[in-house]
């Protein structure tokens, strides 16, 4: 099938089989490997991307379901969160980071000043096996505090 969609603001046309996930389409057809494949069954959140403004697991969506959609991946994001993750040590191995940042961006779009509890609730579908989450939560809260000005 011919899949027409916008990825990171750019109109793309990709020939995809209906049995490919959006994650595989992004990584293998569009060449955007910033979005990670962890569990591939919706448990880890590493593949989180934003489709039409909503964070989703790209592994749980068929590529063809993104027909006509706007998809935002880590490659298309320029956001204070990225700087904040670096400054606060919110990444160690880095595998969860793209998904974590996309989810955090979606949270801040909806709620610019979340509490710590709201941050933890929002990222509960993103697994990190290195950091223990503390520094990730601090990095997100730092951006949210800047929003208070």
* Residue with Cβ nearer another protein (87 or 113): 113
Q: Does 76 bind another protein (CB under 8 A)?
A: no
Q: Does 2 bind another protein (CB under 8 A)?
A: no
H or E element in which residue 48 lies:
strand 48-51
By CB under 8 A, name the one of 26, 32, 38, 55 that touches another protein: 55
d(CA 75, CA 22): 15
By CB under 8 A, name the one of 7, 26, 30, 59 that touches another protein: 59
Own/partner long-range contacts of 56-62 (Cβ < 8 Å, ≥24 apart): 57/23, 57/125, 58/21, 58/22, 58/23, 58/26, 59/21, 59/22, 59/23, 60/21, 61/21, 61/22, 61/23, 62/18, 62/19, 62/20, 62/21, 62/22
Q: Which region, judged by CB under 8 A, interacts with another protein, from 2-10, 49-57, 71-79, 138-146?
A: 49-57
What would the x/- binding string for another protein be over residues 109 to 138, using CB under 8 A? ------------xx-xxx------------
Token pair recorded at residue 101: 């940042």
Tell me how far, at minimum, the Cβ of 87 lies from another protein, in Å. Answer: 25
Return residues touching another protein (CB under 8 A): 1, 17-21, 40-43, 45, 48, 54-57, 59-62, 64-65, 103, 106, 121-122, 124-126
């Amino acid at each position: 099938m011919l899949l027409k969609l916008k990825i990171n603001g750019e109109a793309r046309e990709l020939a995809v089989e209906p049995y490919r996930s959006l994650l595989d389409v992004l990584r293998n057809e569009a060449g955007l490997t910033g979005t990670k494949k962890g569990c591939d069954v919706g448990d880890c959140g590493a593949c989180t991307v934003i489709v039409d403004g909503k964070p989703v697991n790209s592994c749980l969506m068929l590529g063809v379901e993104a027909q006509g959609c706007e998809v935002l991946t880590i490659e298309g994001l320029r956001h204070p969160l990225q700087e904040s993750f670096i400054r606060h040590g919110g990444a160690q191995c880095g595998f969860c980071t793209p998904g974590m940042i996309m989810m955090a961006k979606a949270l801040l779009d909806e709620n610019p000043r979340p509490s710590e509890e709201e941050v933890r609730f929002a990222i509960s579908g993103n697994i990190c096996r290195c950091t223990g989450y503390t520094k990730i939560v601090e990095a997100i809260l730092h951006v949210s505090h800047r929003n208070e000005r």
